């Protein structure tokens, strides 16, 4: 007999399904946005933690950073003001920046001030799962705009906005990941950014710009942020240290005009995000960020090349993907008969974890035979072996790929 209290009848009716217990990490993990452990700057962070804590550690005795106020560590926000200006062209002050617990909290806060059940938002058709799931939970209708090799298609966006207008619907915002999109890794060029802003302004719809991969462009040359290019101020920008330093730190940020920031702040009711992380990042990033990022980009590009080679070798022409300009993913198209929602379980049983396409898209038919593979976490050897194991499973389940390196399976 169980002596466990029965919470079931008391639970809210609209909860997501119960979580499974953690069953350990898969041998070949191509899921999530994990970074490269071998490249993690342990020594630099140890030194930064030592000096920051010795100098400022006493402030940990306070809530909300004492004199720094509720928007987060002042030094970190000052670093961001400089970085956002020099990289993304954003002119802002520390009052426009709120440090959050990862950019997931930034998503929640921006959604929290703008969205109600029944609202409509416009997003890229293939999109970050964390964003899609949030709209589903909030009861928000997400209209997906197709992408091409240069990101969101502006002609399709224009048609969608016109359709919505005809139906009397004003979308709450256009959510976009313009700078190394997740999952396609496309980069929206500057002229499309200008066209997007023009359309948004014409329809009086703000833009929600999610820029967490912006540091991972191979040649380091990014187009200016939508926030920087906007002449009417209708853009909220979020970013993160998860991809540039490490996701376990849980440090992200929101950049917003004060009118919106002043409405967001009362919703952040957690008495501030973790302070040690912010102190250490502020200490580390000012002198080391550029050098760290340059090395990280090189390492990621080499892993991307290894994954491309492994896919070409193991899947041949059965796996199609773009030649990405940055990021940590490949968005792979397999032949139409492959259903990646059905590939996922047998692959996991063989030790290979993949992200099935339909979880990263609002168009389930279009994404059925697509999958997202992250190459940042596994080693080069694991990438080769994991892709080979995946090809075996895919062949067994779907007869694809049929031939590998001219050898019939």
Taking CB under 6 A as the criterion, the residue among 75, 144, 246, 252 binding ligand PLP is 252
* Contact code string over 27-46 relative to ligand PLP, x by CB under 6 A: ------x-------------
Under rule CB under 6 A, residue 96 binds ligand PLP: no
Taking CB under 6 A as the criterion, the residue among 102, 206, 327, 356 binding ligand PLP is 102
We find the least distance from the C-beta atom of residue 384 to ligand PLP, in angstroms, to be 24
Under rule CB under 6 A, residue 178 binds ligand PLP: no
Taking CB under 6 A as the criterion, the residue among 234, 247, 327, 377 binding ligand PLP is 247
Name the residue nearer to ligand PLP (CB basis): 26 or 252. 252
DSSP-assigned states of every residue in 353-381: E-EEGGGGBS-HHHHTTEEEEE-SSS-HH
Count of beta carbons in the 10 Å neighbourhood of residue 347:
25
Of residues 371, 376, 353, 348, the one with CA closest to residue 361 = 371
Under rule CB under 6 A, residue 210 binds ligand PLP: yes
* Distance from C-alpha of 30 to C-alpha of 358, rounded to nearest angstrom: 16
Count of beta carbons in the 10 Å neighbourhood of residue 364:
11
* Distance from C-alpha of 110 to C-alpha of 105, rounded to nearest angstrom: 9
Query: Which window, 101-109, 156-164, 215-223, 280-288, contacts ligand PLP (CB under 6 A)?
Result: 101-109
CA distances from 400 to 339, 344, 385, 386, 397 (A): 11, 14, 17, 16, 8
Pairing of strands 147-148, 151-152: antiparallel
Name the residue nearer to ligand PLP (CB basis): 103 or 306. 103
The SS3 call for residue 123 is strand
We find the least distance from the C-beta atom of residue 354 to ligand PLP, in angstroms, to be 16
Q: Are 268 and 281 in contact (CB under 8 A)?
A: no
Contacts of 200 (CB under 8 A, 6+ apart): 174, 206, 207, 234
Number of residues that bind ligand PLP (CB under 6 A): 14
* Contact code string over 366-385 relative to ligand PLP, x by CB under 6 A: --------------------
Under rule CB under 6 A, residue 104 binds ligand PLP: yes
Taking CB under 6 A as the criterion, the residue among 240, 244, 278, 369 binding ligand PLP is 240
Count of beta carbons in the 10 Å neighbourhood of residue 78:
15
Q: Are 309 and 301 in contact (CB under 8 A)?
A: no
Under rule CB under 6 A, residue 177 binds ligand PLP: yes
Name the residue nearer to ligand PLP (CB basis): 242 or 306. 242
Q: Are 192 and 150 in contact (CB under 8 A)?
A: yes
We find the least distance from the C-beta atom of residue 238 to ligand PLP, in angstroms, to be 7
We find the least distance from the C-beta atom of residue 79 to ligand PLP, in angstroms, to be 17
For tokens 């799962």, what's the residue? 129
Name the residue nearer to ligand PLP (CB basis): 321 or 329. 329
Of residues 106, 147, 105, 109, the one with CA closest to residue 125 = 147
Measured from each CB, the residue nearest to ligand PLP is 102
Under rule CB under 6 A, residue 274 binds ligand PLP: no
Contacts of 359 (CB under 8 A, 6+ apart): 129, 132, 341
Under rule CB under 6 A, residue 360 binds ligand PLP: no
Under rule CB under 6 A, residue 103 binds ligand PLP: yes
Q: Which of residues 119-148 bind ligand PLP (CB under 6 A)?
A: 128, 130
Q: Are 309 and 169 in contact (CB under 8 A)?
A: no
We find the least distance from the C-beta atom of residue 261 to ligand PLP, in angstroms, to be 19
Query: Which window, 76-84, 102-110, 188-196, 397-405, contacts ligand PLP (CB under 6 A)?
Result: 102-110
Q: Which residues make up the interface to ligand PLP (CB under 6 A)?
A: 33, 102-104, 128, 130, 177, 182, 210, 212, 240, 242, 247, 252
């Amino acid at each position: 007999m169980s002596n466990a209290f029965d919470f079931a009848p008391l639970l809210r009716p609209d909860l997501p399904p119960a979580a499974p217990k953690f069953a350990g990490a898969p041998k070949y993990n191509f899921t999530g946005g994990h970074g490269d452990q071998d490249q993690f700057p342990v020594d630099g962070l140890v030194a930064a933690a030592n000096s920051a804590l010795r100098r400022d550690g006493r402030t940990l005795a306070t809530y909300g950073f004492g004199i720094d106020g509720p928007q987060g560590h002042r030094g970190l926000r000052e670093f961001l003001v400089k970085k956002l200006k020099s990289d993304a062209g954003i002119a802002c002050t520390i009052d426009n920046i709120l440090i959050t617990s990862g950019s997931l909290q930034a998503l929640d806060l921006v959604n929290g001030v703008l969205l109600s059940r029944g609202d409509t938002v416009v997003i890229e058709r293939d999109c970050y799962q964390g964003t899609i799931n949030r709209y589903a939970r909030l009861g928000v209708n997400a209209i997906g705009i197709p992408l091409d090799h240069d990101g969101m298609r502006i002609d399709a966006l224009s048609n969608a906005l016109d359709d919505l207008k005809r139906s009397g619907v004003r979308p709450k915002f256009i959510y976009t990941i313009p700078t190394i999109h997740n999952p396609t890794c496309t980069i929206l060029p500057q002229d499309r950014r200008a066209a997007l802003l023009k359309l948004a302004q014409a329809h009086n719809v703000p833009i929600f710009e999610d820029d967490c991969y912006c540091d991972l462009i191979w040649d380091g040359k990014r187009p200016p942020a939508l926030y920087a290019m906007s002449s009417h101020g209708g853009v909220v920008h979020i970013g993160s240290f998860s991809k540039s330093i490490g996701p376990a730190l849980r440090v992200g940020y929101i950049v917003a005009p004060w009118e919106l920031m002043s409405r967001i702040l009362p919703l952040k009711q957690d008495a501030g995000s973790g302070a040690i992380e912010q102190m250490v990042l502020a200490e580390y990033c000012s002198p080391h960020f550029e050098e760290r990022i340059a090395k990280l980009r090189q390492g990621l590009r080499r892993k991307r090349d290894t994954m491309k080679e492994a896919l070409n070798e193991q899947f041949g022409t059965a796996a199609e993907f773009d030649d990405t300009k940055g990021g940590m993913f490949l968005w792979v198209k397999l032949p139409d008969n492959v259903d990646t929602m059905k590939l996922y379980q047998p692959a996991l049983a063989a030790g290979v974890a993949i992200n099935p396409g339909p979880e990263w898209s609002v168009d389930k038919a279009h994404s059925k035979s697509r999958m997202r593979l992250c190459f940042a976490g596994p080693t080069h050897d694991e990438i080769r072996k994991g892709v080979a194991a995946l090809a075996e499973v895919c062949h067994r389940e779907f007869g694809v790929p049929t031939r590998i390196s001219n050898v019939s399976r």
